[in-house]
Structure 1
Amino acid sequence: MSAMTLTDVAAPAKLNLFLHIVGRRADGYHLLQSVFVLIDWADTLHFERRADGRLQRHDLTAPLPADDLCLRAARALRAASGTSFGADISIDKQVPWGAGMGGGSSDAASTLLALNRLWDLGWSRERLMALGLSLGADVPFFIGGQNAFVEGVGEVLTPLALPRQWLAVVKPAAGIETRAIFASPLLARDNKPDKVAGFLVDAGIQSLLDGYGINVMQPPAESECPEVTKVARVLQERFGNSRMTGSGSAVFARAGTGHQPLASLPSDLPEGWVGRMCRSLEEHPLRGWASD
């Protein structure tokens, strides 16, 4: 790497080990509780500094929307910092869209962290997280850089030390728009909230590995997208458990904490489905790219 370029910048996906909705704010935003865990299914970004202030994105794999979160993050940081620099941003997109895995938010977070370094801004993690929240509720988690108990609309993070685990992840061909899930009458919005201290004492880390809680978004997602039910059934039969992540449509199964997973993914997934046997990460690969 040089002062002008940053290459092979990782943007890992996340999974929700559980997801409860515990209320709403006055502005209508839902209050959630969840545990987010980073996994090694990731996009890769490359950055080159420009002196002319322009921001350009180059899609190395699947074409992305013209104004994606990555470009919006770059514009927001350029405006907030007042820098005269710009950047060429190239994206090797691997995390599927509409999966509930936070791919776009992770790209935005890695963009903020990378440009903070590339443009010599010296912003703190806290300042980047505040800017990230204006882009999306999941962005602060990725900037925070640690697996976490997540509250509020996604901005209240309590880091958790979780053992590395295997997670079989499969996304069907269909994606799901989050707005459809939140509009569903099947969405439960009245889960009893856990206090993080009590959660760690009463539930404990082992209970997370054993499948604590539920994902309240799964019933409306299955109603919206029958493929979610099919994926869940395939993984349940293979691993003895399954759960959707986020607002879907990806589903995962816990596959052990040893050196090898308890089983392999089926080799005959239907056309259009994508799956990987993933490992959880202890921390974000860019964790050291911002000061605490």
Structure 2
Amino acid sequence: MLVFPNAKINIGLHIVEKRPDGFHNIESCFYPVGWKDALEITEADQFSIEFDGIAIPGNQSDNICVKAYELVSREYPLPPVKIHLLKTIPIGAGLGGGSADAAFTIKALNYLFKLGISFEKQLSYARRLGSDCAFFILNRPTYCFGKGDQFESIDVVLREKWIVLVNPGIHISTIEAYAGVEPKPGESDLRNLLKLPVAQWKGKVKNDFEATLFAKYPLLEEIKEELYEQGALYASMSGSGSTIFGIFDQEQDLTEVFREFRVWQGILS
């Protein structure tokens, strides 16, 4: 079975407070985008996993897709499988690529082996794997809070808008990103801000990670400003990683403008 785990962007991100368990409570709108990995799962004589594309750090046994398989297999009869992951979504980039791979592994196993796992149980599995994972079970524009794994419907419609994502290849770990942030409630309710026209989001819809990470990596701010120079209605860093995105009214081809970096561009749905 072949599936295509997609990335997400964060439209606004407030770091509200540090939790007793060491995690942080956040407020953000997660929005799916079309930058995708390719994940193939087939029944096999023995379990294996192999990777192509962007190099994935760490041991194979620690890969989040392996952990997803092991989690499901504890409660459901699964045969050995071969997992083949073609990695194209940058790592440590604020796009949730690893979380998407895990969530799509759960969904693919459920479908391939007709396990009948309920939607709520799939969410539960995903929440145990990582803070962003559960979003990719939903995989639709969503207001996320708590650790990023609690959800509320939100009416943010960017259909037919054009998005350009620029990744300069800077790997920013979650630990590094949170080290420079002082948690505090957002100045305004993000849900209300996102009711404004996209062209009015600039200066209002903020990512709390930008202040310290832009100071540490000035290139990120330069990319954001260049996206505005190219006519973006709104531009921001996504999540805690180094990808900067711009939302446009009309189709753009900015591959030459950002030719030194990884660029994905396409229509939002």
Q: Could you give the per-residue CA deviations for residues 91-133 of structure 1, whole angstroms, max 9, x where no partner exists? A: 1211111110000000111011001112221101110111111
Contact 1:176–1:225 at 8 Å: present in 2 too? no
Q: Where does structure 2 lack aligned partners over 5 or more consecutive residues?
A: none
The 5 Å alignment of 1:133-148 reads: 133-148=127-142
- Specify which of 52, 66, 71 is matched with residue 60 of structure 1: 52
The 5 Å alignment of 1:196-275 reads: 199=191, 202-207=192-197, 210-211=200-201, 212-240=204-232, 241-256=234-249, 260-261=250-251, 263-271=252-260, 273-275=261-263
1:158 aligns with 2:158: no
Task: Write the letter of the residue equivalent to 2:50.
Answer: H
Contact 2:209–2:240 at 8 Å: present in 1 too? yes
How does the TM-score come out when normalised to structure 1? 0.82
Q: Could you give the per-residue CA deviations for residues 136-185 of structure 1, whole angstroms, max 9, x where no partner exists? A: 1000000012210111101111133423121111000221111011111x
How does the TM-score come out when normalised to structure 2? 0.89
Contact 1:36–1:148 at 8 Å: present in 2 too? yes
Match of 1:111? Answer: 105
Query: Alpha-carbon deviation of 1:17?
Result: 0.8
Contact 2:76–2:115 at 8 Å: present in 1 too? no
Identical aligned residues as a percent:
28
Given the superposition, is the C-alpha separation of residues 237 and 163 from structure 1 closer, same or farther in structure 2, using an over 3 Å criterion?
closer
Query: Alpha-carbon deviation of 1:82?
Result: 3.7
Given the superposition, is the C-alpha separation of residues 70 and 194 from structure 1 closer, same or farther in structure 2, using an over 3 Å criterion?
farther
Match of 2:31? Answer: 37
Q: Could you give the per-residue CA deviations for residues 187-220 of structure 1, whole angstroms, max 9, x where no partner exists? A: 2411237668xx3xx4353445642520001122
Alignment length (residue pairs): 261
Cα distance in 2 for partners of 1:124, 1:193 equals 38
Given the superposition, is the C-alpha separation of residues 34 and 74 from structure 1 closer, same or farther in structure 2, using an over 3 Å criterion?
same
Match of 1:83? Answer: 77
1:181 aligns with 2:187: no
1:69 aligns with 2:64: yes
Match of 1:286? Answer: none
Contact 2:193–2:205 at 8 Å: present in 1 too? no
